[in-house]
Structure 1
């Protein structure tokens, strides 16, 4: 099969070719619950850029050469002898983790904390290819309204945004405020999820006019240009007290300091993007009673819930399609901020 393969890291993201489009062996069924999926779409994520930079070397045992791509959807191509819930030809979306289902975390539904798992595109070959090896337990059959290429980024960008927005929606009441920092690939989904799940007033902060326009299209009640005065602008909109919930889809640079400052006393700051550090005096945590919440992908049931919202038209993805052979162009466009929403590779 054809695949876009990472052969070397590039810490400064300067090389014209990050991956090499080449022939690699087809994945094969090895275990009873294995499933091979013919890729209909593979999302291009900022995490892929971090993998190219080598940031993930300290977190997982990534051995080169290696196929990225952890946001995948397509059609069932082959199944192991123990597979009963899907059949060849079924359109499916892949939960990003492949788990055994036996550990306590799995049995509690916390797939992303499973002790026995693989994460195609992170610690195993992913979907920047014509075919992907996954497991039956990771698959969700798609309704006829949703095409694989249109939903692939929901498996990480959508699921992560959904998980954070769902947590926030549980305590947001009418008349309260939610701030989304970043309206890109994750943020524009989070805005729609908040709007679908709660009645809070949504404020979106981003430096890009294109992203702010997308935020308006997704239902934001207020948009704020990140030009150095965004903290004061948000405080003015919230009566000087800040928002009950702040979801930081950036997680680096000055977004952390500003995001926590935008959070009202006794409010919650949800960190989704990563790359920066949180450094707070303990006395400030005590006197403000702010809560800081980490968010790691999401559960299988949450992906089912997100597909239900997409099926009803309450959440949609802004996508830009690239051929698999043009993976380098997609990665460079993402790196340079040229993509509105998410990029999707199509074999």
Structure 2
């Protein structure tokens, strides 16, 4: 079968021919119907050799959707032919966090060598993929898998980040979204649906700001040297109650801290680089401002997102690619020329 794999440190991924997998005990085989391309992929493929820990060759793709075509011994509760999306942050299933559905924070994953698909385990950028357990599958019914697969990360990650701060988003408050791409444009839609807050979006050019307005931002501001001043002109002295940074480079983190208000949440989602940091402390950050860096979301939150999708809440921008031209999707991702999310359709 065809797959898109990262095979050489520092090189582009490539389209390869690999053996079709068979499910072992407890596993499920999916015929892939859609797979998302993510900045996280680009990030790990730019790691130097001494920091790369994901194994080679690596079949990419941690956003996956598919149809169940075969199950291994002992699998029950999922029928052949079921259309599903894959919950990506696999855990042990038994620790305290996993028992709450928070496998993204599994306390034993590292110890047990459990890795997400596309980030250590074979991913979804292939004609077929193995899922380690049926509990990591969420049925989607008649939803379009291409439009739905971004919810498994580009939706789940901002949803988790926003939910933890909803109590701070009262009427008259402001939420700031920095970066309006794959995750950011979904975050804007979630904020408009879930909260009464005014949404201010930041990005680097007018085309991206117009896109932010189209998906629901009340205000759109260039992310430049005047960004803090211009956002503060909108929020006044109160500042933002929630700032979501989907970029994670030092300039955007500085903007995030500069527009945050007293007792706000600053959530750094983007993984721009490892050396960027927020200055936190007395006189360095607003009083009682909480700064955090979350990871993905829970299984129950993915189920909630699929329910919202059935209600027609989302208008997720996707650009479709085949497996044969999937490498071009990564080139476009790195160049910042994608509108929304790139989705590979085998």
Residue aligned with 1:238, SS: helix
Shift of 1:166: 1.6
1:53 matched to 2:64: no
Shift of 1:72: 0.4
Looking at structure 1, the residues matched to 324 and 115 of structure 2 have their Cα atoms a distance apart, in angstroms, of 26
Shift of 1:92: 0.2
The within-5 A match list for 1:143-182 is 143-144=141-142, 146-182=143-179
The within-5 A match list for 1:76-87 is 76-87=68-79
Deviates more, 1:282-291 or 1:336-345: 282-291
Q: Find the counterpart in structure 2 of residue 120 from structure 1.
A: 117
Give per-residue Cα distances to partners, 1:175-228, cap 9 Å, x unaligned.
111100111000000011111111011110111322212211111111111232
TM-score, normalised on structure 1?
Answer: 0.93
Change over 3 Å in CA distance of 1:55–1:152 after alignment to 2:
farther
Looking at structure 2, the residues matched to 27 and 208 of structure 1 have their Cα atoms a distance apart, in angstroms, of 44
Preserved CA contact (<8 Å) 2:253 2:278 = no
Shift of 1:82: 2.2
Change over 3 Å in CA distance of 1:148–1:251 after alignment to 2:
same
Shift of 1:104: 2.1
Preserved CA contact (<8 Å) 1:159 1:306 = yes
Preserved CA contact (<8 Å) 1:310 1:316 = no
1:89 matched to 2:84: no
Q: Find the counterpart in structure 2 of residue 43 from structure 1.
A: 36
Q: Find the counterpart in structure 1 of residue 288 from structure 2.
A: 289
Give per-residue Cα distances to partners, 1:123-165, cap 9 Å, x unaligned.
1110111111112010000031x12122112111111011112
Shift of 1:56: 9.2
The within-5 A match list for 1:1-347 is 1-10=1-10, 18-31=12-25, 33-54=26-47, 58=51, 61-114=53-106, 115-116=108-109, 117-134=114-131, 135-144=133-142, 146-274=143-271, 275=273, 276-280=275-279, 282-284=281-283, 288-347=287-346
Preserved CA contact (<8 Å) 2:228 2:258 = yes
Residue aligned with 1:132, SS: strand
Between the two proteins, the alignment pairs up a number of residues equal to 338
Segments of structure 1 that go 5 or more residues without pairing to the other structure are: none
Preserved CA contact (<8 Å) 2:209 2:220 = yes
Shift of 1:107: 0.8
Change over 3 Å in CA distance of 1:57–1:173 after alignment to 2:
farther
Looking at structure 1, the residues matched to 302 and 208 of structure 2 have their Cα atoms a distance apart, in angstroms, of 24
Looking at structure 2, the residues matched to 296 and 55 of structure 1 have their Cα atoms a distance apart, in angstroms, of 22
Looking at structure 2, the residues matched to 279 and 21 of structure 1 have their Cα atoms a distance apart, in angstroms, of 39
Preserved CA contact (<8 Å) 1:19 1:327 = no
What is the Cα-based RMSD across aligned positions, in Å? Answer: 1.7
| Structure 1 outlier segments of 4+, above 4 Å | none
